[in-house]
A and B are shown apart, each in its own frame.
Chain A
Amino acid sequence: MKKKIAMYWGAGCGGCDVSLLGIHEKLLDLLDDIEIVFWPCATDFKYEDLEKMPDKSIDVAFYNGAIRTEENEKIAKLLRKKAKVLVAYGSCASEGCVIGLANLYDKKQIFNVVYLQNETTKNEDKVLPKEHTNDLELPEFLPHLKTLEQVVKVDAVIPGCPPPRPVLEEALEALLQGKTNFGKEVALCDECPRKDSKPEKIEIERFYRWHEKEDNGDCFLAQGMICMGPATLAGCQGECISANIPCTGCMGPTPKVKDQGAAMLSAIASLLGDIDEEKEEEIMNSIRDMIGTFYKYRAAKLLPEGRLKDES
């Protein structure tokens, strides 16, 4: 019997939906084994259709995107009810991703920036989104962005922003066989195309942003460019590295690490060599956008209630 599959697009960029198409002809093979029962992006189903399905009738439901609105939350709960296996698909669903950085601000600050202060926004009447208008009901914009796991129980995670093809292929195969454990346990360096260029000892004298230094083709970290590879789960086979871009960490941490950013910061700080504290501080301060660099994908997971309020 064909496996019943659902895919939902929460708060995200749409890249995850595209990534599923990105497995190309493999998708055709898959179609022999699966039946798509719900995929708003690609097929015409309505929420009512989903509601009408018997509980646990979907074999595997993929949820991509984060939970930013009341509607996202509602569908997450609904899918949980209807599916045997619920999968957090991609970085937004599993750890909040780039949009999770919004948890550094509150709802009012976000609305202010997006609808009022943004230079490219023309909003003379200062109209802000409202939930209830005379003729329209909009879902509530939640106080904080949530990951899928913060709302419902999640059975499996397909990491990545979006999940890279090799990761996805392995995951789909496993999931269709009823397995929820898949993927690698080592960090990216293990499969990095620049692995052999690692020097015997890495010592960082200063940090360079990508455009500040000519890439000589060696290990990025050894060149002083921050590469999240050592703290990031392998599986993508170094797609970005092959395109001469250091890893930004979208696959999330390795199994024993909770705080990927802290793990990488601690590693990087240790690589600064034998210098005095003042110089150390100077070098570390030269990193622009600490949170955006080390917590690009995981801020919402680590800050489910938003930023801790300063006590002062």
Chain B
Amino acid sequence: MADKITGLANPEQGTSRRDFMAKVAVAAVTAGTTIPRLASAQTAAKPPADPAGVISNDVVMAGKDAALKMHSERPLTASATAEFLADEITPTNRVFVRNNLFTTEFSEANHVVEIKGLVDKPLKLTVADIKSMFKNTSTVAMIECAGAGRTAFNPVPRGTPWPATGGMSCPKWNGVRLGDVLKAAGIRSDGAHVSFTGADFGALPTIPKVARSVPLWKALEEHSMIVYGMNDGPLPVVHGAPIRVMIPGWAGSASVKWVAGIEVLSAPLKGPYMDSSYRMPRHPVAPGSKMPEDAVSTEGWPIKSMITNPAPNARFKIGKPVLVAGHAWVAEADIERVELSFDEGRSWQNAQLNAKAAKYAWQTFSYAYTPRGPGYMTVLARATDSKGNTQPIVTPWNPLGYYWNGIHRVGFSVES
């Protein structure tokens, strides 16, 4: 790709940006005509070609494991399901993919992130600056799309059709503490929230940038990071290279990829990714309803668990122990216990909890179960956190299908 766009930290001023816009297939968009003319049925049915600077889905998926299934092409979304996520630390090639806009490649040398807003000393940092000026660190932490598990809701709400156990990963993140960078800029006393804006772009110049904010306390929490690596290797383009934000345990949209702007604010950011997407009703609503006006922005994931072993429909022998294992996680609490049921919830046994890799990592549980008779069986897992919250059987429906954390259930066969 000779005409790849690079270093678009401030794309509005770059000539390459204008080149790109000229190439966008929806060429009818010009000043004063924001609405493209209705193309004929035949041309309209074809999606516009991907613009320059964009990595194709084929390239992204070639770097991924076959267990990762694509759920949509534009924007690209892909995930593996529980039986492929047994690792305590998710391998890079099984980390889920969720883009809002294009998968955009930026040059590490030219990429700049601006720290601005309610700070004493605004900063413009290159990736090299970030690596050299701040303590390099790493942590294992959960990232999970707000809509992970969406297809388990009934009826299925709109959005990426994540499988019941797809859309979450727990890799190791390499980078620097977000708090260290913010403190270097000097947070003013009226700073209360921090927003992140990505440099990636959509198919039209009118499409707003991806931008989310989190409360200042979360941005300053020591596990919140500016990330340049994954699992001690480079950060893949699709996961936000050269740098991204990582807000552990929170709905993934807060972890803005290709981050180019970090702004300290006195109030939550206003914008489409805060005010109309990534929102939850305050109270459960009837299935099929609109989002209530007073809905709130997504934050940390509630208590959740999933069974990674046995794989669905595995076959076992009577009298031979079966390893039942999986992970449990919650954003802002600890896991108190994970219980398993082999009789559809009539009785429950505590699973053994292993130590977790880091504060925001998922916690692996295990249990040796010896089947005593033949037939088709199920195992259910139910986690409880240190605040006393237990997973529900079914998560209340909500218009955007967020926070699915219903009890996971896996079937297997026992043979004599």
Q: Do A and B bind each other?
A: no
**Which B residues lie at the A interface, using CB under 8 A?**
none
